Amino acid sequence: MNERGGAPLLSMRQISKRFGAVEALSGVDFEVRAHEVVALVGDNGAGKSTLARMVSGVLQPDAGIIEIEGQQVSISSPSVAHEMRIATVFQDLALADNLDVTANLFLGHELRENGMLQDGRMEQITRDVLAKLASRIPSVRTPLSALSAGQRQSVAIARTLIGDPRLVVLDEPTAALSAVQTAEVLTHIERLRDLGLGVILISHNMTDVRAVSDRIEVLRHGRNNGSFDASRTSFEEILAAITGATHVEPGLRSVG
Amino acid sequence: MSNKATAGSQSSLREANRTLVLHTVQRWGGLTQVELAAATGLSTATVSNIVREMYAAGLVDTAVTTRSGRRAQLVTLARRLGLAVGVHLGSRHLRIVLGDFGHSVIAEQSLPLPRDHRMDASLDRVALLVADMLERVGASVTDVVGVGIGVPAPVDAATGMISVGGVMRGWDDTHLGQTLAKRVGCPVAVDNEANLGALAESTLGASRNHRDSAFVLASHAIGAGLVIDGKPHRGYAGLAGEIGHVQVDPQGLICSCGNRGCLDTIVGADALLEAVRPIRGALSLRDVVLLAKEGDQGCSRLVADAGAQIGAVVANLCMVMNPEVVVVGGELAESGDVFLGPMRTAITRRMVVNRIAPLEVVPAALGTRAEVMGALLLALQAAEVPAMGDVDNEESAS
């Protein structure tokens, strides 16, 4: 559980990033502990995805320090992120439609022995992972093209569990899903937390965010604008921080 | 194939396959025959034969649907005389089940909810989820005989409104039954969550063989449902069994109900989580229960003390109504004897020992599903059983 003391799983300090004339992030602090779901919320263009892409190794900060369990690191590419046991589910899921569920889970990390693919073991692990997430996918041999949007989202989340991650980044996992599918994904997020992982959740839906997160970090125009304990904060306080009705001075940030 | 094949194995294999298919359909709610074959590992021909047999035996229903643009045969569990929906709209969780008159659950779904969730957003979610779940089992709203919904507040059975102000923030002035009925398009019955737990446990669960029982719901808030002479006792305004609002500390905190030092202000989730915050940081109630189960000292102590505190109030309730059994449900009861032990001790120590039968304190047989199963039972009880003709129409239409 998120015990006090000890180095956080991920700590980002004074992160800045500029795209040409646009200052996407400026002096942002961000922290995730094990067994914690941290939501990253803010208006369009607030810098949520930019920050998440730095965690998953797609972008590099212009300035700032990233630490993983107290060690300063540079997440220079997605494969480096994978080695650091950071898994990401991107907004567009990045799944291969023509392959089945098992092949998608192991894409690029197939299990081999003496050069031979170990299909049986991969299928078994896939079944285990899907069961762990209480996922509703009847067969691991179904091609992705035959699955519903919600089932594809479960596959994308299940894929993050291959390779024993400690941090999972979810970018808008419930956008464009039906009610039942949203319920499944939120249940998955609870499971990931129960498994002791740190989760970064980016979402526009305040109901979903408040339902599953422990802490809510608000970004506004590329700056921190409040850190809220999800169990003690109302909709209004968070919305006020997102829209800028309340402004949190740097240095006066309440630490949840 | 094993070399032990004997003359009887053919039929036992077939029996095993039938069971496998039935369990698979039950688990997923509704599957096409192709999906069934993939999920069970049986050949499509075997699945097709088994489905035909089970359809003839009245165990499953089939309907034509499409998957990836192709025609497919959707297989669902057979429903007797329509469906009912049970909804448990708890403090932090929403649970929904679809079931039939045989009390068998056809589909089930849960969803985490935010603290102080809003009435309009939550009822909307319920309506959307119900519609989605019906679609998944190949049914429509016309198949639904009614919806039962349980909420964490006392409910006036006559009007379906929350009868005490302030307990659920922003929900006070709503006619819950009517609002939801308008959204889902069928009759809705409303009751308190603990009353529904009592209904389910006394019909299907741990107290089904007892005439007089009390169900204690130890969750984010504490409540109780009473069953007297085999019937749920709700009280004049639905306030019966609201033990969460019994005063235990005259100098305590002010409660959401407006009184002071209620049991909820001492052992409700807010109070418990506040007590561990200095050493463990922000935990959820589920974290506390899991940690207590794992033997974490602080959390075990917290849960045990809560059990004793609740037991003291339940003892008074038992002196008033003299039940044969106290059934304990809710999230706190999931921690097992860590919670139940001190609660049992606190109750029995305060009770007058009678020579007829000692009071039993047992965990809920239905676990945390007791409330939602009670909501399903409420919907079934409130519904008028449709005439047999309706079932025929439905089949000829499909």
Chain A hits for B291, CB-CB cut-off 8 Å, are 1
Verify whether the Cβ–Cβ distance A4 to B24 is below 8 Å: no
SS (H, E, C) chain A: CCCCCCCCCEEEEEEEEEECCEEEEEEEEEEECCCEEEEEECCCCCCHHHHHHHHCCCCCCCEEEEEECCEEECCCCHHHHHHCCEEEECCCCCCCCCCEHHHHHCCCCCCEECCEECHHHHHHHHHHHHHHCCCCCCCCCCEHHHCCHHHHHHHHHHHHCCCCCCEEEEECCCCCCCHHHHHHHHHHHHHHHHCCCEEEEECCCHHHHHHHCCEEEEEECCEEEEEEECCCCCHHHHHHHHHCCCCCCCCCCCCC
Q: Residue A1: which of B121, B136, B287 has the nearest Cβ?
A: B287
Please name the amino acid found at residue A220: R
| Average pLDDT of span A60-86 | 92
pLDDT tens-digit profile, chain B (398 residues): 444 445 567 888 888 888 888 888 877 777 888 888 888 888 989 999 999 988 888 888 888 887 777 888 888 877 766 789 999 999 899 999 999 877 888 888 999 999 888 888 889 999 999 998 888 888 888 889 899 999 999 998 788 888 887 777 777 778 888 899 999 999 999 999 999 999 999 999 999 889 999 999 999 999 999 999 988 999 988 899 999 999 999 999 999 888 999 999 999 999 999 999 898 888 899 999 999 999 999 999 999 999 999 999 999 999 999 999 999 999 999 999 999 999 999 999 888 877 777 899 999 999 999 999 999 999 988 876 543 334 444 444 43
Tokens of B53: 């047999």
Query: Hey, is B189 helix, strand or coil?
Result: strand
CB contact under 8 A, A211 and B111: yes
Instruction: List the one residue out of A28, A12, A40 whose CA is nearest residue A173.
Output: A40
pLDDT-derived band at A249 (thresholds 50, 70, 90) equals: low
Report domain B208-364's class: alpha beta
pLDDT at residue A93 above 90?
no
> Which residues in B lie closer than 8 A to residue A212 (C-beta atoms)?
112
Name the residue facing B115 among A145, A178, A210 (closest C-beta): A210
pLDDT tens digits, A204-213: 888 899 999 9
- Cβ contact (<8 Å) for B39 and A139? yes
User: Which of the given ranges, A2-6, A232-236, B252-256, has the highest pLDDT on average?
Assistant: B252-256
Which chain B residue's Cα is nearest to A187? B111
The reported pLDDT for the residue numbered A143 is 86
Pick the CATH number of B83-195+374-397 from 2.60.40.420, 3.40.50.1820, 3.40.50.1100, 3.30.420.40: 3.30.420.40
**Distance, CA of A113 to CA of A46 (rounded, Å):** 46
Rounded-to-integer distance, Cα B324 and Cα A164, Å:
50
What pLDDT sits at residue A5?
Answer: 56
Q: Are B270 and B279 in contact (CB under 8 A)?
A: no
Check if the beta carbon of residue B146 is closer than 8 Å to that of residue B181.
no
Check CB contact under 8 Å for B68 and A145: yes
For residues B6 and A226, the model is more confident at A226
Closest CA to B145 of B62, B86, B196: B86
Q: Please report the pLDDT score of residue B227 as a whole number.
A: 96
Q: What pLDDT shows up at residue A120?
A: 87
Superfamily of segment(s) A10-100+166-243:
P-loop containing nucleotide triphosphate hydrolases (3.40.50.300)
Instruction: Give the number of A-B residue pairs with CB atoms closer than 8 Å.
Output: 88
8 Å CB contact of A4 and B132:
no
Measured in angstroms, the CA of B129 and the nearest CA of chain A are apart by 5
pLDDT class of A140 with cuts at 50, 70, 90: confident
Out of B35, B92, B128, name the one closest to residue A179 (CB): B128
- For residue A107, what pLDDT is reported? 83
What Cα–Cα distance (Å) separates residue B103 from each residue in A112, B98, B367?
Answer: 48, 9, 16
pLDDT value at position A138? 77
pLDDT at position A134 is 66
Neighboring chain A residues of B38 at a CB cutoff of 8 Å = 138-139, 141-142
Q: State the pLDDT at residue B250.
A: 94
pLDDT value of residue B329: 96
B326 in contact with A, Cβ within 8 Å: no
pLDDT over 70, % of chain A? 93
Helix or strand holding residue B126 (H, E): helix B119-136
Q: Which of A62-66, A182-186, B62-66, B270-274 has the lowest mean pLDDT?
A: B62-66
Q: Specify the pLDDT at position B390.
A: 40
Residues of chain B contacting A32 with CB distance shorter than 8 Å: none
Determine the distance in angstroms separating the CA of A14 from the nearest CA of chain B, rounded to an integer. 25
What percent of chain A has a predicted confidence (pLDDT) above 90?
37
**Same-fold call for B83-195+374-397 versus B208-364:** yes
Q: How far is B88 from chain A (nearest CA, A)?
A: 14
Check B38 against A145: CB less than 8 A apart.
no
Looking at residue A116, what is its pLDDT? 83
The predicted structure's pLDDT at residue A91: 73
* Sequence-ordered list of residues with C-beta below 8 angstroms from that of B334, at least 6 positions apart, any chain: B289, B293, B367, B368
Q: Which of B92, B118, B136 is closest, CB to CB, to A180?
A: B136
Domain boundaries, chain B: 83-195+374-397, 208-364
Q: Which residue numbers of A have CB closer than 8 Å to B's CBs?
A: 1-4, 136, 138-139, 141-142, 145-146, 178-180, 182-184, 186-187, 190, 194, 206-207, 209-212, 214-215, 229-231, 234-235, 256
Instruction: Kindly state the average pLDDT of the residues A152-156.
Output: 83
